[in-house]
């Protein structure tokens, strides 16, 4: 049974380590910027999702699904954000088990304050250094890889469009 491990060759290692180095640094930088604005990356994600949702509220389940988070993570995250009054918890009319998170004015404010800085960071650290062609290549790469990373459907942005799904 025990197949010999196929180690990475030079080119593969280049691709992998390059990718890892980039993604770790990127996350570090963007995280730092957000933290200076008083938010964690997770906070920011939640605020964006809520702000994009109709009524600025979302069931914890949907939230978890969109962010690809475990329910435990969602629960902790929302509790902490609630303590800081960035979100409010509201009950479900139909099913008392269900909980919703709703953006507070304070939360919306925090997002308005952080978003421009964050977007500027995304440009400065990342997008500014890619050609349009490289952006397209990256989208194709994500479309190739994502389906193999779990049961989650592709995020809406990558769904339609001209890119080829694999057989």
Q: Which does 158 bind (CB under 5 to 8 A by kind): DNA, a second copy, none?
A: a second copy
| Alpha-carbon distance values, 148 to 32, 74, 108, 143 (Å) | 30, 24, 35, 10
Q: Which DSSP letter does residue 99 get?
A: E
Which H helix or E strand runs over 103? strand 99-103
Q: Which does 113 bind (CB under 5 to 8 A by kind): DNA, a second copy, none?
A: none
Q: Which does 104 bind (CB under 5 to 8 A by kind): DNA, a second copy, none?
A: none
Considering only the stretches 75-83, 84-92, 93-101, 141-149, report the one whose residues sit in contact with a second copy under the rule CB under 8 A. Answer: 141-149
**Which member of 72, 97, 132, 162 binds a second copy (CB under 8 A)?**
132
Q: Which does 78 bind (CB under 5 to 8 A by kind): a second copy, DNA, none?
A: DNA
Interacting residues with DNA (CB under 7 A) = 28, 31-32, 35, 40-43, 59-61, 64, 69-80, 89, 95-100
**Count of CB atoms within 10 A of residue 61's CB?**
13
Closest residue by Cα to residue 150 from 62, 70, 59, 50 = 70
Considering only the stretches 75-83, 85-93, 97-105, 148-156, report the one whose residues sit in contact with a second copy under the rule CB under 8 A. Answer: 148-156
Q: Which does 57 bind (CB under 5 to 8 A by kind): a second copy, DNA, none?
A: none
Distance CA 141, CA 154 (A): 13
**Which member of 36, 61, 68, 71 binds a second copy (CB under 8 A)?**
68
Distance CA 120, CA 17 (A): 26
Q: Of the two residues 62 and 102, which places its CB atom closer to a second copy in the complex?
A: 62
For 9-104, where are the alpha helices, taking DSSP H only?
A: 10-36, 41-52, 60-67, 71-83
Under the binding rule (CB under 8 A), the answer on residue 24 touching a second copy is yes
The sheet carrying 57-59 orders its strands as 57-59, 99-103, 87-91
- Interface residues for a second copy in 83-112 (CB under 8 A)? none
């Amino acid at each position: 049974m025990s197949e010999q491990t196929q180690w990475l060759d030079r080119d593969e290692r280049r691709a992998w380590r390059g990718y890892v180095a980039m993604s770790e640094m990127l996350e570090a930088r963007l995280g730092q910027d957000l933290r200076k604005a008083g938010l964690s990356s997770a906070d920011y994600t939640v605020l964006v999702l809520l702000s994009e949702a109709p009524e600025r509220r979302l069931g914890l389940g949907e939230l978890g699904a969109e962010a690809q988070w475990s329910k435990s993570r969602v629960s902790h995250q929302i509790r902490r954000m609630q303590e800081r009054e960035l979100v409010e918890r509201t009950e479900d009319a139909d099913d008392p088990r269900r909980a919703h998170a709703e953006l507070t004015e304070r939360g919306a404010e925090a997002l308005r304050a952080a978003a421009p800085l964050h977007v500027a960071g995304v440009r400065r650290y990342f997008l500014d250094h890619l050609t349009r062609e490289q952006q397209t290549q990256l989208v194709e790469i994500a479309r190739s890889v994502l389906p193999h990373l779990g049961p989650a459907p592709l995020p809406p942005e990558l769904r339609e469009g001209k890119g080829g799904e694999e057989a």
